[in-house]
């Protein structure tokens, strides 16, 4: 099954795993200790994140450490870019409205 980065980050547990691994490479066992789920469930999430190329693995002895790979997250950033201008314009208009309302209140 072909997965993409959006499927990977759609799940809150996978997003939390990414946050933890982004700060420090870690093992599935260590990750399982951070969540109220089984190690098997963590391994399933890791598998999806690895398939989506958000994680890379590094074998050290008998342990496998997972590292965050931010390259694929650029797809998300690129997709979000199309909305940034739209929302920035809306927030600018909202700021102007609040400033006008505030100045009208001060004039009274």
The string over 68-103, giving b where at least 16 C-beta atoms fall within 10 Å of a residue's C-beta and e elsewhere, is bbeebbeeeeeeeeeeeeeeeeeeeeeeeeeeeeee
pTM of structure: 0.74
CATH of the domain at 59: 1.10.10.10
Give the domain extent around 99.
72-107
pLDDT at 103: 81
Cα 29 to chain center, whole Å? 21
Are residues 78 and 57 part of one domain?
no
Look at residue 16 in the predicted model and tell me its pLDDT: 96
The per-residue pLDDT string of the chain (108 residues; one tens digit each, 9 = 90 and over) reads: 667 889 899 999 999 999 999 999 999 999 999 998 898 999 999 999 999 999 999 999 999 999 999 888 888 888 888 888 888 888 889 989 888 888 877 776
């Amino acid at each position: 099954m072909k997965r993409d980065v959006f499927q990977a980050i759609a799940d809150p547990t996978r997003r939390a795993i990414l946050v933890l691994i982004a700060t420090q490479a870690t093992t599935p066992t260590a990750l399982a200790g951070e969540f109220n789920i089984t190690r098997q469930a963590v391994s399933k999430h890791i598998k999806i994140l690895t398939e989506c190329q958000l994680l890379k693995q590094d074998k050290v002895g008998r342990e496998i450490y997972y590292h965050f790979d931010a390259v694929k997250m650029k797809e998300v950033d690129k997709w979000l870019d199309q909305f940034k201008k739209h929302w920035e314009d809306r927030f600018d208009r909202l700021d102007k409205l609040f400033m006008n309302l505030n100045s009208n209140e001060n004039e009274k």
